[in-house]
Amino acid sequence: MTPTLKNHPWSSDTLFSKALIYVGKMEKTRLDDADYGLWSSLSLEFLARAALSHISPTLLADSHSWRNIHFSLGHEVTMKGFSPKSIGIKDVFNRLNEITPGFNNEILGYCSQHIERRNAELHTGEMVFSGLKNSIWLSRYYKSCESLLEIMEKKVEDLFEMPNVVNNSIRSLSDQAGKSVQHDISAYKKVWSDKSDDEKDQCRNQASLWATRQSGHRINCPVCESTALLQGSPSSSIETITDQEQDKVIQKQDMLPVSFECVSCGLKMNGYSRLYACGLGDSYVNTTIFTIAEFYNLYTEDEIYEARREGEASAISHYEDDNNE
């Protein structure tokens, strides 16, 4: 009789629970932090192991000893000094690729690459995840997780705190609208190249003034390299930091780009898929700063209004949002 694998270290439920822990650590980390990528790679491994174990925990057993298979079935170790050994993560990926159609060669290739980044981060002096743009890997990470979750008959909301953000990111990989963006950019570049140098300088100056007065994340336009603006939607929970010495409360939130506008050349784009397709899919941080008094409502609205009228607002002023970290 085969014992039920309850709380077994190789059971699908136990491994999935550990993946949840690492996803939780990832989601509590800033998107531009190197640890965000590291936590994602750790969660990916345990999610893959959970998926393979869901098919059968015996698939995780190193075949060099029958005792590993015996242990994977839920039996106790019978030999002194024996330590059960599971297969390496590359073998996990290869077995999933052969057994399950959804875990295709494209996902296999991405997962292998992401784990290689993890190995280099942990075992060499290379800082692999520092400076690695999340637009390069994050959507494919989500897609890989979706594929593994499907094997276990689970959904993205079973793993991630903000499933809508995850689903939007996954759709960006296959959205046909994103594939047409390069054609649009080429057309705008042709019009821009026909302008004289004086016209280009004038447009760039106007764009710089416009972007300074608007709220959004300032970047360079892919067509004319003028200052342009991205607008975004929240893709993480809000992080609140209180600085007693500076009398400030700082709130930060990751934003996923949803629209772009450049008044210099006229280029406009809506939708993450289109922005992702032209290299503008990197998240950014929205930062809002309050005084401690304002944040905790230590003054009434009337008192704040009167203070501002009398020129004393420096003590309780609300800072402008900063989208350009």
Does the CA dihedral 31-37-43-44 come out positive or negative?
positive
Q: For the chain, what are the domain ranges? A: 12-171, 195-315
Token duo for residue 65:
């000893």
Measured in Å, how far apart are the chain's first and last C-alpha atoms? Answer: 60
CB distance 270 to 259 below 8 Å = yes
Amino acid at 139: S
Cα 5 versus chain centre, distance: 33
CB distance 55 to 49 below 8 Å = no
Residues 176-218 pLDDT 10s: 566 678 888 989 999 999 999 999 999 999 999 998 888 889 9
Sequence length of the chain is 325
Token duo for residue 253:
């939130």
> For residues 141 and 169, what is the distance between their CA atoms, to the nearest angstrom?
10
The model scores a pTM over 0.75: no
Task: Give 158's DSSP letter.
Answer: G
Whole-Å CA distances, 175 to 117, 184, 226, 272, 275: 27, 16, 27, 10, 11
Residues 248-270 pLDDT 10s: 899 988 888 889 999 999 999 88
- For the ranges 56-70, 116-130, 270-284, the maximum mean pLDDT occurs at 116-130
Contacts of 86 (CB under 8 A, 6+ apart): 10, 49, 60, 61, 62, 68, 72
Bridge-partner residues for 288, per DSSP?
251
Query: Residue 91's CB: how many other CB atoms inside 10 A?
Result: 15
**What's the CA angle centered on 271, arms 267 and 272, to 5 degrees?**
110
Bridge-partner residues for 291, per DSSP?
248
Q: How confident is the model at residue 2 (pLDDT cuts 50, 70, 90)?
A: very low
pLDDT higher than threshold 60 for residue 4: no
Bridge-partner residues for 322, per DSSP?
287
> For residues 20 and 56, what is the distance between their CA atoms, to the nearest angstrom?
20
pLDDT higher than threshold 60 for residue 319: no
| 170 backbone dihedrals φ, ψ, rounded to 5° | -65, -40
CB distance 292 to 298 below 8 Å = yes
